[in-house]
Amino acid sequence: MAAEIHSRPQSSRPVLLSKVEGHQDVVSAALLIPKEDGVITASEDRTIRVWLKRDSGQYWPSIYHTMSSPCSAMAYHHDSRRIFVGQDNGAIMEFHISEDFNKMNFVKTYPAHQNRVSAITFCLTSEWVISTGHDKCISWMCTRSGSMLGRHYFTSWASCLQYDYETQHAFVGDYSGQITLLKLEQNTCSVITTLKGHEGSITSLWWDPVQRLLFSGASDHSIIMWDIGGRKGRTLLLQGHHDKVQAICYIQLTRQLVSCSADGGIAVWNMDISREEAPQWLESDSCQKCEQPFFWNIKQMWDTKTLGLRQHHCRKCGQAVCGKCSTKRSSYPIMGFEFQVRVCDSCFESIKDEDRTSLATFHEGKHNISHMSMDISRGLMVTCGSDRIVKIWDMTPVVGCSLATGFSSR
């Protein structure tokens, strides 16, 4: 099938193709089966289900398997049709799915964690299943023997995981807001560095091994792009969501980032432009514009017989300013600020109308999104959430080009 190029007019939006309903509790993970009209779902209702699209256009479960504990995470390797399901009790169960997706055979159980499994990835070349959990650790286990190879502990719950299969580097986000980069070996690991920039727990990670970019989403409603390959500590801040960022996916071909938040917001960010880094916030005892003292500057307050003022920061220049010198608000998308933020009066004057042109599109998923995954080759996205509904979306109207095959809205 030839690639189709879709233009992106402003009115374009994701097209809802199907709703899959039937779970009795929160759907914790959903994955599209490559090259098939099918979805795999795992839920807190202790079931894992494989849904295939029938001639009627409806999705029906061809596999319905009940687990011993609520399902919390899932990884699927399509070429080998192996599926790994993480559970609330800390165990990971491996299954093999038949070629026609109508049968699922149990392979083995991995005692990976002492508490809820938060993320799983499977590496076929090393035959490792790597996972993070609420027991504050990352573990990697051998899928041939089922034995534990290594563990590394963090200071707080490990919430998400990305893995570079070529270099054996793992990125782990945790509830303290920190991301740890580790190099995994057969029976040991080493901490390469820690990344700190979020003001809330890390809720999602995405690693692009081609451009060597790491994207992180957090409960502080923001996304940070970390330029790992550049080695200069370059970071870009993206602020456009109004709730915690639950899932992210970078599309390398079109240089676009898709992100979903808990309030149902779906954003598509244009990363194919030269964006500016947000400045570090400067510290000062007095306003860097009018020099009035801040309220902790007792000496200057006494000397000038004035009341101290509250400190704010201009998002564009980073200077510490008082309220009177920062009365204006503006969006500044080139720096990642898609909605209006505080800027000092002089920076406000320097921002032109064209500087306020949005560099992202925002859409409504119309349900509480807790998880999202994409089949980039077909421009398809699946979202699931606390409303127990799984939604399948055609994203080609908003993500440029795709191989428009398979799923149809008919």
Q: Which two tokens stand for residue 73?
A: 């995470």
| pLDDT, average across residues 130-158 | 96
Q: What is the rounded distance in angstroms from the CA atom of residue 168 to the CA atom of residue 331? A: 40
Percentage, residues of the chain above pLDDT 70? 95
What mean pLDDT value characterizes the chain?
Answer: 90
Of 216, 215, 336, nearest to 276 by C-alpha is 336
Task: Report which listed range, 271-280, 284-293, 365-374, is most confident.
Answer: 365-374
- pLDDT of 4 over the 90 cut: no
pLDDT band at residue 45, thresholds of 50, 70 and 90? very high
pLDDT band at residue 10, thresholds of 50, 70 and 90? very low
| pLDDT, average across residues 162-166 | 96
Total Cβ atoms within 10 A of residue 8: 16
For the CA atoms of 264, 381, 269, 404, the dihedral, rounded to the nearest 10 degrees, stands at -150
User: Is 179 strand, coil or helix?
Assistant: strand
User: Is 350 strand, coil or helix?
Assistant: helix
Which residues have a Cβ under 8 Å from the Cβ of 177 and sit 6 or more positions away? 196, 198, 199, 200, 201, 202, 218, 220
pLDDT band at residue 131, thresholds of 50, 70 and 90? very high
Q: Which two tokens stand for residue 252?
A: 């390398």
Of 257, 256, 151, 142, nearest to 204 by C-alpha is 257
User: Is 298 strand, coil or helix?
Assistant: helix
Of 402, 400, 378, nearest to 38 by C-alpha is 378
Q: What is the pLDDT of residues 337-358, one digit of tens each?
A: 999 999 999 999 999 999 899 8
Total Cβ atoms within 10 A of residue 316: 24
Of 58, 50, 54, 53, nearest to 102 by C-alpha is 50
Hey, what CATH topology would domain 15-277+358-399 get?
A: Methylamine Dehydrogenase; Chain H (2.130.10)
Of 315, 316, 298, nearest to 307 by C-alpha is 298
For the CA atoms of 211, 217, 223, 226, the dihedral, rounded to the nearest 10 degrees, stands at -30
| pLDDT, average across residues 175-190 | 95
Measured over the CA atoms of residue 55, residue 57, residue 63 and residue 64, the dihedral's sign is negative
Q: Which two tokens stand for residue 347?
A: 């920076």
Q: What is residue 231's predicted lDDT score, i.e. its pLDDT?
A: 67
| pLDDT, average across residues 245-252 | 96
Q: What is the pLDDT of residues 209-232, one digit of tens each?
A: 999 999 999 999 999 999 998 767
Q: What is residue 311's predicted lDDT score, i.e. its pLDDT?
A: 86
Q: What is residue 152's predicted lDDT score, i.e. its pLDDT?
A: 97
Domain boundaries, the chain: 15-277+358-399, 298-356
Percentage, residues of the chain above pLDDT 90? 79
| pLDDT, average across residues 397-402 | 74
Q: Which residues pair with 181 in a beta bridge?
A: 171, 193
Assign domain 298-356 to its CATH architecture.
2-Layer Sandwich (3.30)
Helix (H) or strand (E) holding 387: none
Of 141, 120, 129, nearest to 71 by C-alpha is 120
